[in-house]
Each structure stands twice: as structure tokens, then as C-alpha cells.
Amino acid sequence: MPTLLELQRAVRGDLLGQNEEAAPYVVPAGLTTAARLSVYRNTMFGALTKALRLSYPAVDLLVGQEFFDRAARIFSENEPPRGACLDEYGGGFAEFIAHFRPAASLPYLPGVARLEWAVSGALHAPDVAALDLSCLSALGPADRGRVAFVPHPSVSLVHADCPVDAIWRAVLAGDDAAMAAIDLGSGPVWLLVQRCATRVDVLRISEREWRFAALLCAARPLQAALDEVPDLDASAALAGHLAAGRFTGFSLDQAP
């Protein structure tokens, strides 16, 4: 008899079409082995498709249910979940869409998907207290440039070549006029996503502000971030991040 782990791996592989190792352990009980496994397979892919639809509602509306279901099935077959929490499933869907030939006529779709994954991540991020600013004020002048911030778990940054935030809002609002007014050639957008007390904010910021924020969120020391983004009102940008609670802590960089 197999161990429980061996049995689970056999069933998983069979459901994903990777092998047929589970068949000897299935009790038909009125159904063929293939039919019984098919019930579980359909249930599994249905649950994964639902999880993706919840994380990517605008993508679903843009392509329609049939298209989304097919894309989700192919994605799930190739990238099954690695954990039990389905809120965390689907991080690679935007990249999958970017290389999914049937979606090639919608060049903005991967960008919308990346934004939706950031929004989903913000919604499900844990609650963490914002940085106590008195800890920063206690630092001496020589240490301030060495500060490396810890970003809030709900904060992320998204860059797209077209106004995916406008598309996302128009689609979810069902606003056809707003959708028709969007100029896909208007240029790139630089977005900051953050969960606030009652909503998730998607904010457009300048390219310099975005790059500065990206460096800070990557735990680059403050002085290094300032050096890499010249011609930026860094004091105002940093003050805005701190006031909005976008950092939860900091360390002091040890590099000389």
C-alpha cells in the first residue's frame, strides 16, 4: 500500500494529466475509474478558474467568460497551485497572457492583469502598523542616508505602456463611454498601489517618483536612491510616502 503522501502525489499527477498512477487506488463504485477521476478533475479546475476570475475580474470582462475559462484551464494545467491558499494563486497569469497567442489582439491585456494582481495582493495583504516616525527623527544626520525602508505588504508598483488604470476602472464600472475615450497611444503610466482603510488606491505618479519609490521598496539605502534619481523633489516624495504609511520599518545599511 502507498503512503498517504505517495497517494496524494499520484492523484495530483493524474488530475493534472501528468500520469495515470492513481487509477489502481480508485474504487469505481458504479463509475469507471476514469469517470470518477474526471469528476475530481473538473472540480479542481473549476475551483482554480474561479480563483483566477476573482483576482482578474477586469480581464474576465474584457475577454468574455468562454475565452477566460479556456485561458484559465491552460494556465492551471501548466502552473498548478503550490500552496493551499487560493488567494495567492495566479501570480504568473499576466505573464501567461502576454505570451498567449489568442490574446495577441489585446496588447493592453497583460498590463491590466499585472495591475489586477497588484490590487488583489493589496486586498489580501496582512495588516501591519506603519512606521513610527519618531524612530526616524531619533537618527543622527550621519545615519539618515543609510536608512533602508521596509515597504508595507500592500504596497506595489506597476508600470505599463498604456493607461491600464483607466481601462481597469472603465471596465469594472461598465462605463462604455469612458472606455471608448481611452487613448491607447497616450503613453506609459507609472502606478502605485496601496490598501488604505476603506479601499485600494491606484495612484498615477511621475516616472521619477516611481523609480524613487521602487528603489525604496527594494530596500535600497536612502542616499543611494537619491543618487540614482536626480532632479526629483525627494523631500516631498519621501514625506508623501511616510504620511501615507507606505513603510513599516527600516534598517541601517552596513555597506561603507
pLDDT band at 256 (very low <50, low <70, confident <90, very high): low
Encode pLDDT of 141-154 as tens digits.
Answer: 889 999 999 999 99
| Structure confidence by residue, pLDDT tens digits, 26-68 | 777 777 877 878 888 888 899 999 999 999 999 999 999 999 9
Q: What is the pLDDT of residue 10?
A: 79
Q: What is the pLDDT of residues 93-115, one digit of tens each?
A: 999 999 999 999 999 999 999 99
% residues pLDDT > 90 (the chain): 76
Of 6 and 138, the one with more pLDDT: 138
Q: Is the pTM of this model over 0.85?
A: yes
Confidence of residue 166 (pLDDT cuts 50, 70, 90): very high
Give me the pLDDT at residue 79, please: 92
Quote the mean pLDDT of the chain. 92
N- to C-terminal Cα distance for the chain? 60
Task: Give the pLDDT score at 122.
Answer: 97
The structural domains of the chain, with segments of one domain joined by +, span 1-106, 126-256
Please tell me the distance from the alpha carbon of residue 111 to that of residue 90, in angstroms, as a whole number. Answer: 15
pLDDT at 15 over 90: no
- Interval 119-147 mean pLDDT: 94
Q: Which residue has the higher pLDDT, 11 or 122?
A: 122
| pLDDT tens, residue by residue, 69-98 | 999 999 999 999 988 899 999 999 999 999
Q: What is the pLDDT of residue 18?
A: 66
pLDDT at 110: 98
Around Cβ 148, how many Cβ atoms within 10 Å?
Answer: 20
Considering Cα of 69, then 183, then 167, then 233, what sign does the dihedral take?
A: positive
Give the list of residues 6+ apart from residue 37 with CB closer than 8 angstroms, or none: 11, 14, 15, 22, 23, 26
Residue pair 19/10 in contact by the 8 Å Cβ criterion: yes
Angle between helices 33-55 and 4-15 (to 10 degrees): 80
Over residues 110-129, mean pLDDT: 97
- Strand segments, DSSP code E, in the chain are 147-151, 156-160, 189-195, 200-204, 247-252
